[in-house]
């Protein structure tokens, strides 16, 4: 899995996917980072695949609708589903 596309791009984080993201997934690896949260984006097609990635590893994550932040906006105003 080659992730790392900047979340600001609005493109799904799944490898070789160029679809527009409609979900934001905030996650962390508690074994390495207790407070650091990473953000990946997902299109409809890859949401369940990426959720499976986190569930398999028991990583806590939150899914919320992806809304491209406007200038000066953090994007954290969206409602989230905590897993």
Summarised one tens digit per residue, pLDDT across range 38-82 is 999 999 999 999 999 999 999 999 999 998 876 555 545 445 566
Q: Is the pLDDT of residue 14 over 50?
A: yes
How far apart are the C-alpha atoms of 76 and 35, rounded to whole Å? 16
DSSP-based three-state secondary structure for 20: strand
User: Residue 20's beta-bridge partner residues?
Assistant: 11
How far apart are the C-alpha atoms of 79 and 35, rounded to whole Å? 20
pLDDT attached to residue 20: 95
Mean pLDDT throughout 9-38?
92
């Amino acid at each position: 899995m080659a992730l790392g596309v900047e979340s600001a791009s609005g493109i799904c984080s799944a490898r070789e996917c160029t679809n527009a993201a409609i979900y934001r997934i905030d996650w962390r690896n508690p074994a390495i980072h207790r407070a650091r949260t990473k953000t990946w984006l997902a299109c409809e097609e890859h949401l369940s695949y990426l959720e499976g990635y986190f569930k398999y590893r028991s990583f806590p994550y939150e899914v919320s609708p992806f809304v491209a932040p406007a200038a000066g906006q953090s994007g954290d105003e969206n409602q989230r589903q905590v897993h």
